Structures are given as C-alpha cells and as structure tokens.
Amino acid sequence: MTTRSHTAPANPTTSGGTVAPASGPGTLVSDEVRVVGMVWERELIRYVRTRTRIVSGLIQPVLFLFVLGYGMNGLVGTTGGFNFRQFVYPGVVAMSVVMTAMFSALSIVWYREFGFLREMLVAPVSRVSLVLGKTAGGATVAAVQGTIMLVLAPLVGIRLTPLLVVQMIGLELLMAVAMTTFGVFVASRIQKMESFQVVMQMLLLPMLFLSGALFPLNGLPGWLAVITRVNPLTYAVAPFRQVIFAAQHMSPAARSRFPTNVTLFGYALPIGAELTIVIVFALVFFVLAFRGLSRTE
C-alpha cells in the first residue's frame, strides 16, 4: 500500500483549476479529432508493449512461408525459375496483416469482458470517433506487422523495388482498414470471450484459406470457386500478388503457371475493381461497426 498524505497537492497554484465544460452539448470537431488520435495512440502503445504479440504475429506467417513453402515445393516444382515459396509469399504477407488487424479489433471483446470498453462508450464523444481511432490504430499496427514481413522477401527470392515497397504499404493499409472494421463489427456482436476462439476458427481461418493466399484459385471445382469468389478477402489478397509479381523478372511460362488475377465469370478483374470491392467492404463494415457499438439498453 502507498502511504497516504493528506497534504495539498504539490502545485497549489494550478491545483484549483476547474475544468470549464467544453462548449455545451455540441462537441467541437477538434475535440473529436483529439479522441481519434488518442484511441489510435493507445492502440500503438499496447502493440509496442506486448512483444509476445509481435513475435507470435511473425511466427505463424514465417511457418507458412518456410515450412509450407519448402513442403509444397517438391509437389509444385519450379517453373521458369519461379517456385511455390515465391508464389505464396504475397499471400503470407496478406495473412499477417489480416491476423494482426483482426486480433487488434477483436480485443474489443476482451475490453468488454473486462470493462474498459465501458470507459470509452460512456464518454461524451461520438462513437464514430471511437471506431475511426480504433480502425486507424488497428490498421497502423497491422501495416507495421506486414511491413516487417518485407525483410523476408530476399530470403525467398523476391525482388523488392522502392515502388513495390510503397505499393505494398498502401495495400497493407487498405487491407488492414477493411479487416479492422470487419473485426470491430464482429467484436461488437460477440458478448463472451469463448466466442472469440470460435470466430477465429470458424470464420477467419476459412476466409484465409479460401482467399487464394496459399493456393491459386484457378482450376478449383465449381462450388469451391464460388465460395472463394464471395469471400471478400480474395479481392484483398490478389492485389498483393499482382504488384509483387509485376516487380519480378518472370518468364511467360512462370506467369501462366502462377496466375495473379481473380477471374469472375471467365473475366479477369483489373486491380482497380478488386480495390474498389475492398473499399466498399471497408465502408459497409465501418457503418455496421459503428451501429454495433451504438446500441444502448
């Protein structure tokens, strides 16, 4: 226990300062911006403080990249100097972004269980600011995690160019925003910590496996092809592969062996269409996340 002092606070000149209630019922825009910044900052502080999370967030993709990469290599073989590890690398970067963003968003369930969510929800601020801050925070953290993955590129024979790095960070941010809003929405519907595991296993893993991150989506049986095409992650993963492959020196044989575009009704989607789908997805789930957190008893 601390010792108690009944003396006046250290700085009597400022201690009497009472807080003038800021401007009545309508809150200032600058106040809301401050809130977004604070929620974002808190997310970063927590990320930096939980090293285990950073490390475990790296181990899983690394396992996929090297273990699965070498394991499948014998089966897939090398075409025109291009192998399965190079194929799977963009998918693994996408996976690490998805996992980090979802984890950050789903921590809301944890706050709900342990109360901290209340501290945010009763505050006289707009829920939009809270969701924005949370999304920005989760997205930043996920993009950082995805960018750390870039150091693995040379190890699997992926050539990085300055343009590619910029493109990757942009894609990571977009994907992270989409996944964080999606995660916040899911979290707003989950009341119990136990459901968290269920969501991770029943929703997130299937979404990842059926997104083209780990295997090409062409030549799948019809029903599986349909599932992969309604999976929004598919449209977030494909652009990674497109920009990365565009920066590689690949033979035409390798390009046809490892295709990058998502085909819809036999028509290959351009990257712009894929990104539009991801943006619409993010907006829809932003609204749903906001509504999910706005319910009062």
Partner 1 sequence: MSVVADGPQAQAPVTVPPAISVHGLTKRYGDLVAVDGIDFSVAQGEIFAFLGPNGAGKSTTIKMLCTLAHPTMGQAMVAGMDVATMAKSVRRHIGLVFQEQTLDDQLTAEENLRFHAVLYGVPHRLVEPRIARVLALVALSDRRKDLVSTYSGGMARRLEIARGMLHTPKVLFLDEPTVGLDPQTRALIWEDIQRLRSEEGVTIFLTTHYMDEAEFAERIAIIDHGTIIALDSPDLLKASVGRDTVSIETTDDEAALASLQAAGYTVERSGTGLTAFVPDEEAAVGPIVAAAGVPVRTVRAHRPTLDDVFLHFTGREIREQHGETVPMMARVRGARRS
Least CB distance to partner 1 at residue 121 (A): 8
Where are the alpha helices (H) located in 190-231, listed in sequence order? 193-199, 205-209, 222-230
Span near partner 1 by CB under 8 A; candidates 119-127, 152-160, 175-183, 219-227: 119-127
Which is nearer to partner 1, 66 or 111 (by Cβ)? 111
Q: Which of 115, 162, 221, 222 binds partner 1 (CB under 8 A)?
A: 115
Q: Indicate if the alpha-carbon torsion angle 270, 186, 208, 147 is positive or negative.
A: positive
Q: Which of 93, 125, 142, 207 binds partner 1 (CB under 8 A)?
A: 125
106 lies in the site for partner 1, by CB under 8 A: no
Q: Token match 């002092």: residue?
A: 5
Q: Which of 65, 105, 120, 143 binds partner 1 (CB under 8 A)?
A: 120
Q: How far apart are CA 227 and CA 207, in angstroms?
A: 9
Query: How far are the Cα atoms of 16, 36, 92, 175, 184 from residue 133, in angstroms, in the given order?
Result: 32, 4, 27, 16, 11
Which is nearer to partner 1, 106 or 262 (by Cβ)? 106
Least CB distance to partner 1 at residue 15 (A): 5
Burial (CB count <10 Å: 0-12, 13-18, 19+), residue 294: middle
119 lies in the site for partner 1, by CB under 8 A: yes
Q: How far apart are CA 44 and CA 151, in angstroms?
A: 21
Q: Of all residues in the chain, what percent are helix, strand and coil, respectively (each to 5)?
A: 70, 0, 25
Checking DSSP bridges between strand 263-264 and strand 267-268, what pairing results, if any?
A: antiparallel
197 lies in the site for partner 1, by CB under 8 A: no
74 lies in the site for partner 1, by CB under 8 A: no
Cα torsion for 84, 200, 262, 255, to the nearest 10°? -10
Q: Strand, helix or coil at 118?
A: helix
Span near partner 1 by CB under 8 A; candidates 1-9, 71-79, 202-210, 258-266: 1-9
Least CB distance to partner 1 at residue 193 (A): 9
21 lies in the site for partner 1, by CB under 8 A: yes
Number of residues that bind partner 1 (CB under 8 A): 45
Least CB distance to partner 1 at residue 254 (A): 46
Least CB distance to partner 1 at residue 258 (A): 42
CA 82 to chain centre: 28
Least CB distance to partner 1 at residue 100 (A): 17
Q: Which of 51, 52, 74, 122 binds partner 1 (CB under 8 A)?
A: 122
x/- map, 32-71, partner 1, by CB under 8 A: --xx-xx---x--xx--xx---------------------
127 lies in the site for partner 1, by CB under 8 A: no
CB count, 10 Å around CB of 201?
Answer: 10
Q: Strand, helix or coil at 268?
A: strand
Tokens of residue 175, six digits: 């994907």
Q: Which amino acid is at 170?
A: G
Q: Which residues bind partner 1 (CB under 8 A)?
A: 1-6, 8-11, 14-15, 17-22, 24-25, 27-28, 31, 34-35, 37-38, 42, 45-46, 49-50, 111, 114-116, 118-120, 122-125, 296-297
